[in-house]
Structures are given as structure tokens and as C-alpha cells.
Amino acid sequence: MHPITEVVSRTVVLRERNIDTDQIIPARFLTTTQREGLGKHAFNDWRTLEDGSPNPQFPFNRAENVGARILVAGRNFGCGSSREHAPWALTDLGLRAVISAQIADIFRSNALKNGLLPIVLEDGIVDELLDRPGIELRIDVAGRSVTLPDGRSVQFPLDAFAQTCLLGGVDQLGYLLKQDAAIARFEAARSEQQGQSQEFRHAS
């Protein structure tokens, strides 16, 4: 993963609440065995009209939003399925951050592993951002802050470990692999201290 220190971009706004991962990437596009190339299917059912042509009203179809890296969305973004195809589709669209008043757990975890910043801000400020699509924001990962065009700056919560990973481009699997000794100790201790029946094995 590449380090991410800041994201500076105009915003694209989807006002809807509870945007689930079936909206972000409908299941019929999950037959892929790749991570790449899902952006063209992102929000497919909202992006296209009945006849399959692009819906001119949909924000991601509008010329002014091409290249935008920050999505501002209604509360409870990313709920539903655990499909990592959702952040893959969004980063393939060019997005680097999602701002919402609430972001679903699994989506948040998946996003962080793919260089997509899940940023939760208070309702008041999210409402303001939802009302003003296209403004330019500056997200500072080290300072855990979002700066608005008028200079106001708001803080967002970011787990210290997630922050370290983002700033250093640290890959979580690499980190886990380095814990091999502790994992081996855990496995050994458990098979000793616990009864045989607790061990993972079976009769047949």
C-alpha cells in the first residue's frame, strides 16, 4: 500500500442514508476474480437508466465530478454485505476518502486496507457538506483533520494503528506475519492447557 498523508479534492455528494454495498457494487458484478476494474460498475443501478444509458443526473456521471476524490454521503454508509469489492470499486473510481456521519463496521475495515479513508464527522458538519457539493476539502491524515474552504478545520477519529498504517504505507498482513512467534506460542499453549476435546479435530 502507498502511504497516504493527505487528500485534497472537491467533493461528490450522495445524500442518501444507509447506502449499502449492494448499491455500491451490485452482486451480479461479483463474479470477477480480480480486484481491478470494478469502478465501471460502481453504483451501477443508480448510474444507468432503464435502457442502460448513463443517468445524466447521477453525480458520478457529471463532468464536473470527474477526478473528485472525496465522497460525502448520508449516515450509515457501506452497510450490508462484507464484500471488499465495494472499496475496490470506489478506489477504482478514483475516490480516496468517504465522509459520513456513520460508516458501517466491515466497510470501514475494508476501506482502510485499500487506501480509502473512512471519515466520520458530526452530523452538523456532514449536513453542511451534504448541502454544498463540489467544495474543496483538505484531509490531513497526520493531523486527523478536514479543512473547509473557509479555513475551518474539524477533527475526525482515526485509530492510531490505522493512522500509522496509512502514513507509513504499512501493510497489515506484513505486520501480522511478523507476529508469527506469538501466534505459534498461542497455538502451543492452547493445545497443552486445554482438553483434547477443545482441540479442533473431529471424530470422522
Partner 1 sequence: MTSQPQTLFDKLWNAHLVTPETDAAPAILYIDLHLIHEVTSPQAFAELEQRGLPLRRADRTKGTLDHSTPTLPVGADGQRNYVNAEARAQVDMLRANCTRFGVELFDYDSPQRGIVHVMGPELGLTQPGQTIVCGDSHTATHGAFGALAFGIGTSEVGHVLATQCLLQRKPKTLAITVDGELAPGVGAKDLILHVIGVIGVNGGTGQVIEYRGSTIRALSMEQRMTVCNMSIEAGARAGLIAPDQTTFDYLRGRPRVPADFDAAIEEWKHFHTDEGARFDREVRIDARDIQPTVTWGTHPGQVAAIAANVSTGDGDDAKARDYMGWDAGAALAGRPVDVVFVGSCTNSRLSDLREAASVLRDRHVHPRVRMLVVPGSEQVKREAEAEGIDRIVRAAGAEWREPGCSMCIAMNGDIVGAGQLAVSTSNRNFEGRQGKGARTVLASPLTAAACAVAGEITDPRPYLTTEPARIAELETA
Binding site for partner 1 (CB under 8 A): 16-18, 20, 22-23, 26-28, 30-35, 44-45, 50, 75-76, 79-85, 87, 102, 104-106, 109-110, 113-114, 159-161, 164, 172-173, 175-177, 179-180, 182-183, 186-187, 190, 194-204
Q: Which three cell numbers stand for residue 175?
A: 505486520
One-letter amino acid identity for 181? A
The least distance separating partner 1 from the CB of residue 22, rounded to whole angstroms, comes to 4
- Cβ-based nearer residue to partner 1, 9 or 88: 88
The least distance separating partner 1 from the CB of residue 55, rounded to whole angstroms, comes to 13
- Cβ-based nearer residue to partner 1, 6 or 29: 29
The least distance separating partner 1 from the CB of residue 39, rounded to whole angstroms, comes to 16
Give me the residue label for grid cell 449516515. Answer: 75
Q: Find all residues with CB under 8 Å of 119, minimum gap 6, and list them.
A: 97, 98, 99, 100, 103, 139, 146, 156
Q: How far is CA 105 from CA 47, 76, 125, 127, in A?
A: 26, 9, 21, 21
